[in-house]
A and B are shown apart, each in its own frame.
Chain A
Amino acid sequence: MKTLLSALVQGNRARFVVAALFAVAFTFSAAGARAEDASTTNAGNPISPVEEFSQQLEAFQKSVPDLNTSIQNSASTIDSVTDAEKARAEIDKLRATVSGLLGAVSDNGPVSQLGVKALDHIRGKLKALAAETRYKQEERLFLIDQWRKLETETQNANKELDDARVQFGGLLQTLQQNEDFISELLEIRQAEKALEVIRHLTADIRDASSQLNKLIGGIKPPGA
């Protein structure tokens, strides 16, 4: 932090700000951008849908440890509070975090859409190679074999994403149902019972957190 501050103070301020903005924009666009038609460039070179999917998947995997930290922190906070209203506010925060991740892997979300595009691209390549006459037979077979391997890896990655989507959806549902029940309890001034439900929910969330960690850790981006 000190180094960053001194860099800001001691000149090169504009360059530093532009670089920081660029880094922020790059991170945000990687996380939130809708899938565009293989148009992302790196030093001017277009990247294939498979590479783009792989990059987005890695970015998604990297964001999941934050979720786990967030879940653990919220669970600890909820454990320690004695006020049901405050604990409910923590659950609400957690719901927002899970919702953000579900957005990335939802069927119309950026990562899933890229997965579909990557598979379409691979299948298009395989179709084109089947009719290709430029290469020798063994070269063509080699290329087909490589694309088939990539197809299998991409299908597997998509399958893992499907599982993650179901898990995140389930977690969000657990959170909202418990929150609704807690609200009802608070309405009839059953704060002690609400706290009991919150504590049970904390245990469920911890369990879901470790399951999600294992699941997301198992996703292999194609070509990795």
Chain B
Amino acid sequence: MNGTLRRALGLTAGVVIVGAAVVLFKPTSDVGYIEIKTVPVAPLTQTALYIDSAKLAPIKQGNAILQERVGTLRLQADGLAGALAPLCDIVVKRNRITTVTISVLERPPRCQCRFSGSNAARACVS
């Protein structure tokens, strides 16, 4: 293999690797956290919960910390006739953690914000 071809291959490999690294290692500047606590505490929460439309894995031992994009997200649960019932909005801020407690015994489950936003909407803030 001649030197030019080797250099070209090396350069291509470099470009591919850097591209992959950029895609795989997303900057963390636009993420924050949601801590979901469920009461009563159970080994696995049976109530299906959703953040926007994404279904969450069952919550273990009444506590989960999720990394989410910055913004206002809607916490929802299964409602009647297959529709999702909104529980509350959660404001996610960069590198901050917003805690919400969900009372799963109630129908529909109820959100209790650790800190509430100043607006009239039911929104949990960090």
Residues of A near any B CB (own CB < 8 A): 14-15, 17-18, 21-22, 24-25, 28-29, 31-33, 95-96, 99-100, 102-103, 106-109, 116, 162, 165-166, 169, 172-173, 176
Contact = CB atoms under 8 A, between A and B. Distances in A.
Given A25-B17, A99-B33, A172 B25 contact: no
Contacts of B60: 162
Contact of B95 (A18, A31, A32, A95): A95
B67 A103 contact: yes
Nearest to A169: B65
B66 A108 contact: yes
A103 B25 CA distance: 12
Given A14-B7, A28-B25, A107-B66, A169 B33 contact: yes
A14 B11 contact: yes
Contact of A107 (B20, B57, B95): B57
16 contacts: A18-B14, A21-B18, A25-B21, A28-B24, A29-B25, A33-B25, A96-B28, A99-B31, A103-B67, A106-B65, A106-B66, A107-B64, A162-B60, A169-B35, A172-B33, A172-B97
Q: How many residues of B sit at the interface, in one of the four size bands?
A: 20 to 34
Given A106-B65, A106-B67, A22 B17 contact: yes
B122 interface: no
A193 B7 CA distance: 62
